[in-house]
Structure 1
Amino acid sequence: MATRKRTDALTRARIVDAAIAVLDADEEAGLTFRALSQALATGPGAIYHHVSGKGELLDAATEAVVTAALDLPGGGAAPREEVHALALGLFDAIDDHPWVAAQLAAQLARTSAHGASLRILEALGRRVMTLGVPREHWFTTTTALLYYVLGAAGQNAAARESSGGDDRAAVLAREADAWESLPAEDFPFLRAVAAQMRDHDDREQFTAGVDLVLAGIAASGARVSGGSAR
């Protein structure tokens, strides 16, 4: 079998792009320097010239996806609208690249944050600063928003991954049927909302959650302002 030869220069950006493609296809377990060498038609040594190891490569791939998701078009949108755009950009990015959720969770769990998670925190925090939130509540407010966005987006991606390729509507229908069959005395809430769960749209549900968080931010700011005025 003939060996495919690389005809263009090997760069760090090309390596990261190839890593993203491998991660999309085979998750983290499939990301090996052998797989990258085959995809890039080069040897492992050439790749090591640009990245020191798998950990650096995972961080670089995650940062590339997140940076693209946070690249909002200009136009002077209101801060609340920009929060919506950032949140939905991350939701869609994690939906397209489910492995990103686990990488961001791992970054946030480290004692020192890394590039991608820092970029998200900074992007959200800048908007929180302009939403009328008192300075002493910036950190709590921004991290609450961060945890909702990443948690909900990650859960959505995990649910789609676990469906095994089944149609999302069929998965929701099966789950709704299961909820409706639960004992009424033990699960009155789940039975009551089963039909809503069956018919919901994941992206619309996510957006509604962002609105709830933003409404809480606005209400909190109003209470603090009102309290200081008395």
Structure 2
Amino acid sequence: MSREVIIRAATDLLDSGGESALTLRALTTRLKTGYGAVYHHVADKDDLLAAATDEVVARVLAGVAVDAEPRQALRGLALGLFDEIDAHPWVGAQLARHPLESATLEIYECVGRLLDALAVPGRALFDAAGALMNYVLGVAGQNAAQARSAEGADRAAFLAAVAGRWARLDPGRYPFVRKAAARLPEHDDREQFLAGIDIFLAGIATLG
């Protein structure tokens, strides 16, 4: 049995039931094998989570065109991460918990190189890379967590109810929130995320 087969089975368990569903007992049952076959390739659950996360992130990074214009490559990287974390919410949680592990470092390296290609100067390069990383992983992780918690609910009805509550707030205290209420029901999380990326890139362009 290969490490790839084990990681694929672990990913299926994580996708179907979240981190609590990934136990070595559940994994050996799914693979119809013993603990020894699993321990030959991975040390424990944390090692499995890290390996499964590495695989998802590697898939995103492999999709970043090496010859693309850096801004377009950054948009593609950000959207790729957003979509994969949306599909695999546990990835967002894993990246947030372990910012120094290989998956996060690979993302950071890719972001930094693309920003460097945009000629972002000196200290601003470090700051821009950190801010962009925090935005991408933070928003993507939050979106995935919210989607998982509201799984099975009627999104349109939920947003309409929230917008209704916002519209009834005190206009003197919450003038902006009341304006936002009109946009909330029909907004698209992915489009809003990408709008944020474009705002970041527009600001970064002024640093060169």
Which one of the candidate residues 193, 196, 203 is aligned to 2:180? 193
Amino acid in the other structure paired with 2:45: K
TM-score normalised according to structure 2 size: 0.96
Q: Aligned to 1:164, what secondary structure does the other structure show?
A: coil
1:103 aligns with 2:94: yes
Amino acid in the other structure paired with 2:22: L
Q: Comparing both chains, which one has the higher relative contact order based on Cα–Cα distances under 8 Å and sequence gaps of 6 or more?
A: 2
1:124 aligns with 2:111: yes
Deviation at 1:175, TM superposition (A): 1.6
Structure possessing the higher radius of gyration over alpha carbons: 1
Deviation at 1:70, TM superposition (A): 1.6
| Structure 1 residue ranges (4+ consecutive) displaced by more than 3 angstroms after TM superposition | none
1:183 aligns with 2:170: yes
Q: Aligned to 2:169, what secondary structure does the other structure show?
A: coil
What is the alpha-carbon distance in structure 1 between the residues aligned to residue 149 and residue 135 of structure 2?
Answer: 21
Structure 2 partner of 1:55:
46
Structure 2 partner of 1:15:
6
1:90 aligns with 2:81: yes
Amino acid in the other structure paired with 2:87: D
Percent identity among equivalent residues?
50
Number of residue equivalences: 208
Amino acid in the other structure paired with 2:79: L
Q: Aligned to 1:70, what secondary structure does the other structure show?
A: helix
What is the alpha-carbon distance in structure 2 between the residues aligned to residue 120 and residue 75 of structure 1?
Answer: 14
Alignment map for 1:201-212 (pairs within 5 Å): 201-212=188-199
What is the alpha-carbon distance in structure 1 between the residues aligned to residue 68 and residue 37 of structure 2?
Answer: 44
Amino acid in the other structure paired with 1:19: A
- Out of 42-51 and 174-183, give the one that drifted further: 174-183
What is the alpha-carbon distance in structure 2 between the residues aligned to residue 101 and residue 86 of structure 1?
Answer: 15
Q: Aligned to 1:128, what secondary structure does the other structure show?
A: helix
Amino acid in the other structure paired with 1:36: L
Gaps of 5+ in 1: 1-9, 222-230
Q: CA RMSD in A?
A: 1.3
Deviation at 1:66, TM superposition (A): 0.8
Which one of the candidate residues 132, 152, 160 is aligned to 1:145? 132
Alignment map for 1:56-75 (pairs within 5 Å): 56-72=47-63, 74=65
What is the alpha-carbon distance in structure 2 between the residues aligned to residue 145 and residue 73 of structure 1?
Answer: 16
Amino acid in the other structure paired with 1:78: E
Gaps of 5+ in 2: none
Q: Aligned to 2:30, what secondary structure does the other structure show?
A: helix
Q: Aligned to 1:29, what secondary structure does the other structure show?
A: helix
